[in-house]
Amino acid sequence: MDLRFTRNFDRELRTIRNTGASMRPSRRRLTFLSAFGAAAALLPAVTWGGAQQGNGSDGGEVAIYSARHYDTDRQLYDAFTRETGIRVRLIEGNADQLIARIQSEGRNSPADVLITVDAARLARAKEAGLTAPHGSALIAQRVPAGLRDPDGHWFAVSQRARVIMYDRERGAPEGLSRYEDLADPRFRGQVCARSGSHPYNVGLVASVLAANGPERTEEWVRGLVANMARPPQGGDRDQFRAIPAGQCRLAIANTYYLGHYGRSEKPEDQALFRRIGVIFPNQAPGDRGTHVNISGAALVRTAPHREAAVRFLEYLTDAKAQELFALGNMEYPAVADAPLHPALAAMGAFRAEPIDTTGGAARAAEALQILQRAGWR
């Protein structure tokens, strides 16, 4: 992975901040009732984001079903509308709800684009027949093959590395360089982690499963659970914040959560960022590399606005969009030459594990079963 500083970060970040207030769309809350299978499920309130048309032109619309919930994404939608005249209609929810909704809506679904925060759910949507190849040569040119579905159904728009964090004041623990080392009895009572059922941890265990097989993976998860300093709780931020609080010595978390502390202007946030060290696991020659979560996008098979949808998908790989992902939300871009936030670059360079573009949904389901059997709940 090519990681580099952006020379004009201060100027770019000021631009993001200054435009954020004027670019944030208005929201209306609506409640929908969605049936999935034989059961009816009440979906939570969703947002329809209507950005203003650029130059007074009416370029149609695109309906986005997104599991991402960030202000920077709304800035991106508004920028897309100003540039193209295509209005964005946004529905937010978790990926399972959105996939179930598309299924229940059938051929009458208004969804054009599905965005999730993990590859497994994109793979599941593909296997369920909900997505279609986008056919864009531009996306194929911009996004590396390892970050794209081989059949062209979906691709990554951004990445977060799932790493091991430690207390710099105590120093990096010896003998900890791989995810597998977290199960070593030497680290008994030292590890903090969020719920095993969270997609980030399901993805991590699916990665270990692909590398080591089911028996060794379950043994590893049991060892890791035995090494936990407390029952799984909270989000990723809660894990590394527990380190200086003395609740644990090690934490499993995504880089972008720590990166937000590095970009903060608060002295206490900067102090925490300087104190937390990062280990990028599995970096030895011949090893598989550090696991990354992706946010990715797919064209819905029944998209009523296919042309606008493909244009939006291509926009997600544009330099401006990738800059917002990288500088605005502290993520690693999917396009190689996009800028990187200095706080992320300060964590160090690393080699990423290739994305599992085949069999991801089935492997994630097996990983979840292993997690439940091994007690990581």
Amino acid identity of 271? A
Q: Is residue 208 part of a domain?
A: yes
- In tens, the pLDDT along 228-248 reads 999 999 999 999 999 999 999
- pTM across the whole model: 0.82
Region of poorest pLDDT, from 36-45, 155-164, 345-354: 36-45
Same domain, 215 and 360: yes
Same-domain check for residues 93 and 139:
yes
Residues 112 and 231 in one domain: no
Which is nearest to 180 in space by CA: 155, 157, 212? 212
> 291 and 200 in contact (C-beta within 8 Å)?
no
| 55 and 133 both lie in a single domain | yes
Q: Report d(CA 319, CA 102) in Å as an integer.
A: 30
Q: Are 235 and 245 contained in the same domain?
A: yes
Q: What average pLDDT score do residues 67-84 get?
A: 94
How far, in Å, CA of 293 to CA of 106, rounded?
A: 29
Q: Are 154 and 298 in contact (CB under 8 A)?
A: yes
Q: 114-150: buried (b, 16+ CB within 10 Å) or exposed (e) per residue?
A: bbbbbbbbbbbbbeeebbbebebeebeebbeeebbbe
Average pLDDT over residues 74-96: 95
C-alpha pair distances (Å), 276 with each of 49, 237, 253, 259, 262: 37, 11, 11, 11, 10
CATH number assigned to the domain comprising residue 172: 3.40.190.10
Q: Based on the domain organization, do 165 and 68 belong to the same domain?
A: no
Q: Residue 265: inside a domain, yes or no? A: yes
- CA–CA gap between residue 118 and residue 293 (Å, rounded): 6
Residue 114 lies in a domain: yes
Specify the 3-state DSSP secondary structure of 157.
strand
Residue 296 and residue 220 share a domain: no
Q: Classify residue 217: in a domain, yes or no.
A: yes
Q: Both 105 and 186 in a single domain?
A: no
Q: What is the largest CA-CA distance in the chain?
A: 65
Per-residue pLDDT averaged across 148-157, rounded?
Answer: 96
Residue 331 lies in a domain: yes
User: 10 pLDDT band (50/70/90 cuts)?
Assistant: very low
Average pLDDT score over the chain: 86
Inside any domain, residue 4? no
Into how many domains does the chain fold?
A: 2
Q: Is the confidence at residue 370, as pLDDT, over 90?
A: yes
Look up the domain containing 284 and give its range.
161-291+349-374
Residue 82 falls inside a structural domain = yes
257 in a labelled binding site: yes
Q: Using CA atoms, how far apart are residues 274 and 239, in angstroms rounded to an integer?
A: 16
On whether both 257 and 300 belong to a single domain, the answer is no
Q: Give residue 134's identity as a one-letter amino acid code.
A: H
pLDDT, tens digit, 9 for 90 and up, residues 102-133? 999 999 999 999 999 989 899 999 999 999 99
Q: pLDDT per residue over 296-329, tens digit each?
A: 999 999 999 999 999 999 999 999 999 999 988 9
Three-state SS at 354: coil
Lowest-confidence pick of 36-50, 56-70, 363-377: 36-50
Highest mean pLDDT out of 44-58, 249-263, 355-369: 249-263
The pLDDT of residue 337: 83
**Residue 3 forms part of a structural domain:** no
Do 302 and 155 belong together in one domain?
yes
Based on the domain organization, do 154 and 171 belong to the same domain? no
Q: Are residues 204 and 243 in the same domain?
A: yes
